[in-house]
């Protein structure tokens, strides 16, 4: 039976995947806000006070409106059960999500601790100098140790976050922390210590999972996870495996680089978490606030359209395959949009409804392709170890491209593995060069 997505699902996914574009724009917009705005009010305030024309909820607004927001969330989750989330609090000192939030300076001062010289070194560490890296890590041993402890935490939860939490964690802290871990992996690889190298690779992957394996992962957090996961793959093939050489334990490397889950069903958890995050921290505090001069008179209808759109997407993502999802058509508005008041349509457009295309979907599918491409490359290396070299052309007996269910293409002369060129925008993946 040929797959035919429902119109509601098509509209829902267009609505939700546009969130990636708008929240990505929002993150950059907030980062560009004047320093005093960021320092005094945090991410959403930076966005709201920077000239978009609407007043964003401040931390004190969220505290004041907590009870009506909680009540509205409970009502909507009763009506739309797929959006319900069961929270599992974790002690603060064991909570990787909270500790990453604190490492990044909290909601009001996002960034990364330590002195400016160390941050500048991490951002500009090429050309590589192993002795310089050791010296930097020695001088900043306390901070490096803190990063390693956070990366090693096995539990994480988005429950009971502090009042300054605005739904998002600094990607700056994640980027610097992962750079530290991968550079230590490189030192270990160049020293011939494969076990220590793999440990740091796994710590980096676990750090990335802090952004996903919580009750309410969201689109910006997922973008950070993708960034870290793909950097691990690049770093392993460009620096770590070449340093270790052909004696590297490919079974362990395949496991270390395959520990990340990327499926439409996993993305459904992100969509559900995005609903909770955006509703609790932005939408509901704004439309339920009687002090807000922009409060729409059909706030309850707006909230229901918002929730129903997310629920339709969550339900369908739990059953769709990568191939089906990749070919989904895009429409511009969810069902129910036309019935909203002009003010609610403006408000909805500010959040996500006027975003173009599906950049987050493309980013997610591209991650699936790139991760699978590296898995196939390790498969090729393993076959070569068994005396079974591959010829130029489509490769069989190795991991396939799950996005289009096609074999990857090997170039024996260049020693590269590539995906077929796709007719789907945003899915291009650079060829992977084998490490030896």
Q: How many residues are present in the chain?
A: 436
Angle between helix axes 96-103 and 171-190 (nearest 10 degrees) is 100
What pLDDT does 31 receive? 41
The ranges of the chain with pLDDT < 70 are 1-55, 107-110, 329-335, 347-359
The phi and psi torsions of 292 (rounded to 5 degrees) equal -85, 115
What pLDDT does 52 receive? 41
The two structure tokens encoding residue 409: 């293409």
As a whole number of angstroms, the distance between CA 194 and CA 184 comes to 12
Question: At a CB cut-off of 8 Å and minimum separation 6, what does 237 contact?
Answer: 374, 377, 432, 433, 434, 435
For the chain, report the end-to-end CA distance as a whole number of angstroms.
45
As a whole number of angstroms, the distance between CA 319 and CA 314 comes to 9
- What pTM was estimated for this model as a whole? 0.85
What pLDDT does 109 receive? 62
pLDDT in tens, 49-85: 434 445 677 788 888 989 999 999 999 999 999 999 9
What pLDDT does 349 receive? 59
355: left (phi over 0), alpha (psi -120 to 50) or beta: beta
As a whole number of angstroms, the distance between CA 264 and CA 199 comes to 29
What pLDDT does 219 receive? 87
Biggest CA–CA distance in the chain, Å, is 73
What pLDDT does 393 receive? 97
pLDDT in tens, 129-150: 999 999 999 999 999 999 999 9
**10 Å Cβ neighbour count for 366?**
20
What pLDDT does 346 receive? 74
What pLDDT does 340 receive? 87
């Amino acid at each position: 039976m040929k797959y035919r997505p429902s119109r509601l699902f098509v509209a829902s996914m267009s609505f939700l995947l546009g969130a990636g574009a708008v929240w990505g724009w929002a993150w950059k917009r907030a980062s560009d806000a004047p320093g005093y705005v960021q320092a005094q009010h945090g991410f959403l305030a930076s966005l709201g006070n920077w000239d978009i024309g609407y007043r964003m909820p401040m931390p004190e607004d969220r505290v004041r409106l907590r009870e009506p927001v909680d009540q509205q969330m409970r009502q909507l989750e009763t009506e739309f059960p797929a959006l319900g989330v069961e929270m599992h609090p974790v002690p603060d000192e064991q909570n990787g999500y909270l500790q990453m939030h604190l490492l990044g300076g909290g909601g009001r001062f996002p960034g990364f601790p330590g002195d400016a010289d160390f941050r500048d070194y991490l951002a500009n560490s090429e050309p590589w100098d192993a002795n310089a890296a050791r010296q930097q890590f020695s001088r900043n041993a306390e901070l490096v140790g803190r990063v390693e402890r956070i990366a090693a935490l096995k539990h994480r939860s988005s429950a009971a976050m502090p009042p300054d939490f605005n739904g998002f964690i600094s990607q700056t802290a994640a980027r610097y922390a992962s750079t530290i871990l991968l550079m230590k992996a490189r030192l270990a690889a160049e020293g011939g210590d494969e076990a220590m190298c793999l440990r740091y690779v796994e710590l980096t992957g676990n750090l990335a999972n802090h952004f996903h394996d919580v009750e309410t992962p969201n689109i910006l957090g997922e973008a950070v996870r993708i960034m870290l996961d793909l950097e691990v793959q690049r770093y392993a093939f460009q620096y770590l495996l070449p340093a270790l050489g052909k004696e590297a334990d490919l079974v362990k490397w395949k496991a270390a680089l395959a520990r990340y889950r990327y499926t439409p069903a996993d993305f459904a958890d992100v969509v559900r978490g995005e609903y909770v995050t955006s509703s609790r921290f932005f939408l509901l505090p704004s439309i339920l606030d009687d002090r807000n001069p922009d409060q729409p008179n059909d706030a309850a209808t707006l909230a229901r359209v918002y929730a129903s759109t997310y629920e339709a997407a969550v339900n369908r993502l739990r059953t769709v395959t990568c191939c089906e999802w990749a070919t989904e058509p895009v429409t511009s508005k969810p069902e129910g949009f036309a019935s909203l008041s002009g003010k609610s349509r403006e408000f909805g457009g500010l959040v996500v409804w006027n975003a173009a295309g599906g950049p987050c979907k493309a980013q997610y599918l591209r991650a699936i392709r790139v991760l699978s491409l590296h898995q196939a490359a390790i498969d090729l290396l393993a076959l070569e170890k068994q005396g079974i070299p591959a010829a130029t052309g489509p490769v069989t007996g190795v991991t396939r491209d799950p996005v289009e269910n096609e074999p990857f293409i090997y170039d024996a002369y260049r020693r590269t593995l590539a995906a077929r060129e796709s007719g789907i925008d945003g899915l291009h993946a650079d060829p992977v060069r084998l490490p030896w």
